[in-house]
Chain A
């Protein structure tokens, strides 16, 4: 094995194009699917599992409806993030905002051995609103009368989160999660000059998705016009890690030898 040792005089000027990472931030175990605690409970403003009222298998609305078969367990099949998301925006108030829209596909197993696939929020409606055939579950983040979403928000020390629903006609097409945090959270800190760099870019990584689902109790849900329908209350939460990096393009000139 013989390798020629190159002299320093053989070195040449090599220009390298690369991306310099100016700052990075990893948010671990972030709950991205929740509902706010009601005002009348302690620790209001904190997150609690989203309570889904999943309609029992075979249940129909009525004044004295049949209970049908209750939900045995709920599993997450897929979390689909919409194209062009997640996005990062630098706000004028020196904050970074990450936002993304997603749908949830759940596999529901009933006590009678039946299985159903539910797509949320497309098959979601307001608790107490008129029941229609496509609705599979109810939740409390939609107003029953106007069917408008009630944004869930969490604010702690400049760290702001919001979860709402995207409306598409008379249905809901996606959940919209938004997280805003001060720029000085990045490690190492990013200067104002670097923030104004026209080549400033960002990359976002959503990883380690986990969920919690607990079947709570049977619930006779109002279904409009003095009707009721039997559902099973299920508490559901999503957790994941969110990593964001900010960087700029750099041309670096080094002295050396190219291997090619």
Chain B
């Protein structure tokens, strides 16, 4: 074997590219090597599940925002239906003073 003087190739740190289980190149085994390894077998599903959960969480937030906006619009259109402000109770001391004057 002949040594070949050439500089090493170093990519430096780069973000990892991720690929779902369906984009496996031809010739590569789609299934995990050990079918008994439950953790390994579940990994593809776990990745998909995580994404779905995140999307559902965002959809929930959007729905809550829409409901809140709807309620705001209803309140603006019908000001009478808006909840009235509670009357402030007079301080206890004032009532007592009035009784004493009578």
A residues neighboring B (CB under 8 Å): 19, 75-76, 78-79, 81, 86-95, 97, 151, 153, 155, 157-158, 160, 162, 178, 180, 182, 184, 192, 196, 199-213, 239, 246-247
Expressed in whole angstroms, the minimum distance between the Cβ of B51 and any Cβ of chain A is 10
A90 touches B27 (CB 8 A): no
In the bound complex, CA of A196 to CA of B14 (Å): 15
Chain B residue contacts of A76, Cβ below 8 A: 2, 4
Asked if B97 CB lies within 8 Å of chain A CBs, one says no
Q: Which applies to chain A's interface (DSSP): helix, strand, loop or mixed? A: strand
Bound: A182/B37 CA distance, A: 12
Tell me whether A201 and B44 are in contact (CB under 8 A). no
Given the known A-B contacts A162-B27, A210-B2, A212-B1, are A203 and B17 also in contact in the complex, defined by CB atoms under 8 Å? Answer: no
- Complex Cα spacing A247 to B11, Å: 14
Question: Top 4 nearest A-B pairs by Cβ distance?
Answer: A92-B21, A158-B33, A92-B44, A207-B8
Can you report 11 A-B residue pairs in the complex whose CB atoms are below 8 A from each other? Answer: A79-B4, A86-B9, A93-B24, A93-B32, A160-B27, A162-B25, A202-B16, A204-B9, A206-B8, A210-B3, A210-B4
Contact between B20 and A92, CB atoms less than 8 A apart: yes
Question: Which residues of chain B have a CB within 8 Å of any CB of chain A?
Answer: 1-4, 6, 8-33, 39-40, 43-44, 46-47, 50
Report whether B18 and A89 are in contact in the complex, using a CB–CB cutoff of 8 Å. Answer: yes
Structural contact, B47 and A203, CB atoms closer than 8 A: no
18 A-B pairs besides A78-B6, A79-B4, A97-B25 with CB distance below 8 A are A75-B2, A81-B9, A89-B17, A89-B19, A92-B20, A92-B23, A92-B24, A157-B33, A160-B29, A162-B27, A200-B15, A201-B13, A201-B16, A204-B11, A205-B8, A209-B6, A210-B2, A213-B2
